């Protein structure tokens, strides 16, 4: 595995781009450089038609990401904190807007900005020992990269308040029961294999249909039902401008497996 990025490792395997946050000594804490590197790699992948799905994971055995980097944040002014949060927000928007689905493979602690990054992804798998939480309140701050909003939307307002006001941790099983993550993987070694299996299923699909489905869900969620249904309708119609639609339906009628080309 090689990388031109200071804080990340990146490799492509079977059309799946695997990004590993690589600051194991700091439990992969997110400093400005990580956010900048993540933004650049995501923008690079967005344009890469050889990559049809993405996995984000953390290096080392302990943590996915133990939050934003407290050493860097400690002496920030309010203006500097705003600029830092804007960097994080750009990463979330890049994940939302890229056509490829992004899977978070949570290999340990996913705290603060780490949980927020996972929740920006499309799907989340976690090892049994993973711990989730928004401990910002214990540092005299609040979540700043979507925690107050995404946790509330995925669970409900009182669960979000429990997690954010107490700043405690929950285990992977509870996170799954609350609807914060998709699946708990029992063996630690099996996490990347399972993430690759999920990604492997996704790369068989039409990247156009995947991106339109992702867009309809992500953009519809915050709109009124009427507006969201109109947007879904447009996305549905847009599928019919693709060869993949023709291939999918032809393959069905010819009783064969479709070969989608992302066109
Ligand atoms: N920032 C910087 N360094 C960290 C962080 C972090 N978030 N987490 C761990 N480290 C460092 C430790 O300082 C330690 O360094 P050293 O070896 O030099 O002393 C090393 O990683 C190992 O950590 P521990 O010794 O603490 O390991 P433990 O196994 O004892 O504990 C924990 C693991 C429980 C994960 C513990 O490290 C911990 O509580 N970490 C901090 C968790 C936290 O509070 N996270 C939230 C940070 S605030 C935040 O995320 C705001 C997000 C806003 C985003 C807005 C901008 C986009």
For ligand 1, residues with CB inside 6 Å are 26-27, 29, 66-71, 84-85, 88, 109, 111-113, 135-136, 139, 143-145
Residue range 142-185, pLDDT digits in tens: 999 999 999 999 999 999 999 999 999 999 999 999 999 999 99
Superfamily grouping for domain 207-253? Lyase 2-enoyl-coa Hydratase, Chain  A, domain 2 (1.10.12.10)
- Could you tell me the residue ranges of all domains in the chain? 2-203, 207-253
Pocket residue to mutate for ligand 1, from 67, 131, 134, 169, most atoms within 8 A of Cβ: 67
Q: How far is the CA of 28 from the centre of ligand 1 (A)?
A: 8
Q: Confirm if 216 and 232 have CB atoms less than 8 A apart.
A: yes
Residue range 15-71, pLDDT digits in tens: 999 999 999 999 999 999 999 999 999 999 999 999 999 999 999 999 999 999 999
State residue 229's pLDDT score.
98
The pLDDT of 228-242, averaged and rounded, is 98
| Closest by Cα among 71, 60, 1 to 30 | 71
State residue 168's pLDDT score.
98
Residue range 241-256, pLDDT digits in tens: 999 999 999 999 999 9
State residue 4's pLDDT score.
81
Residue range 73-87, pLDDT digits in tens: 999 999 999 999 999
How many residues belong to the chain? Answer: 263
Determine the Cα–Cα distance for residues 241 and 261; give it in Å rounded to an integer.
Answer: 14
Determine the Cα–Cα distance for residues 63 and 111; give it in Å rounded to an integer.
Answer: 9
Residue range 32-47, pLDDT digits in tens: 999 999 999 999 999 9
The pLDDT of 129-151, averaged and rounded, is 98
CATH number, domain 2-203: 3.90.226.10
Determine the Cα–Cα distance for residues 252 and 263; give it in Å rounded to an integer.
Answer: 18
> What stretches of 62-205 show up as alpha helix (H) in DSSP?
70-73, 78-97, 113-120, 147-154, 157-166, 172-177, 190-203
pTM exceeds 0.95, yes or no: yes
Q: How far is the CA of 253 from the centre of ligand 1 (A)?
A: 55
Determine the Cα–Cα distance for residues 42 and 47; give it in Å rounded to an integer.
Answer: 9
State residue 187's pLDDT score.
85
């Amino acid at each position: 595995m090689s990388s031109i990025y200071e804080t990340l490792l990146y490799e492509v395997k079977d059309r799946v781009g695997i990004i590993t946050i690589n600051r194991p000594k700091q439990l992969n804490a997110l400093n400005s450089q990580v956010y900048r590197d993540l933004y650049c790699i995501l923008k690079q992948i967005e344009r890469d038609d050889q990559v049809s799905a993405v996995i984000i994971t953390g290096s080392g055995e302990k943590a996915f990401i133990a939050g934003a980097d407290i050493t860097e944040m400690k002496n920030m002014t309010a203006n500097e904190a705003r600029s830092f949060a804007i960097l994080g927000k750009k990463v979330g928007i890049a994940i939302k807007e890229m056509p490829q689905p992004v899977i978070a493979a949570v290999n340990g602690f996913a705290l603060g900005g780490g949980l927020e990054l996972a929740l920006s992804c499309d799907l989340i798998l976690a090892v049994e020992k993973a711990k989730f939480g928004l401990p910002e309140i214990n540092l005299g701050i609040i979540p700043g990269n979507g925690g107050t909003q995404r946790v509330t939307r995925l669970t409900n307002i009182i669960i979000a308040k429990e997690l954010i006001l107490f700043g405690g941790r929950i285990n992977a099983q509870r996170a799954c029961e609350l609807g914060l993550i998709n699946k708990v993987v029992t063996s630690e070694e099996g996490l990347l294999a399972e993430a690759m299996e999920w990604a492997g299923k996704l790369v068989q699909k039409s990247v156009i249909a995947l991106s339109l489905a992702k867009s309809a869900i992500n953009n519809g969620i915050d709109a009124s039902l009427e507006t969201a249904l109109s947007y879904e309708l447009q996305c549905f119609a847009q599928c019919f401008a693709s060869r993949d639609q023709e291939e999918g339906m032809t393959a069905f009628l010819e009783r064969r497996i479709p070969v989608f080309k992302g066109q």
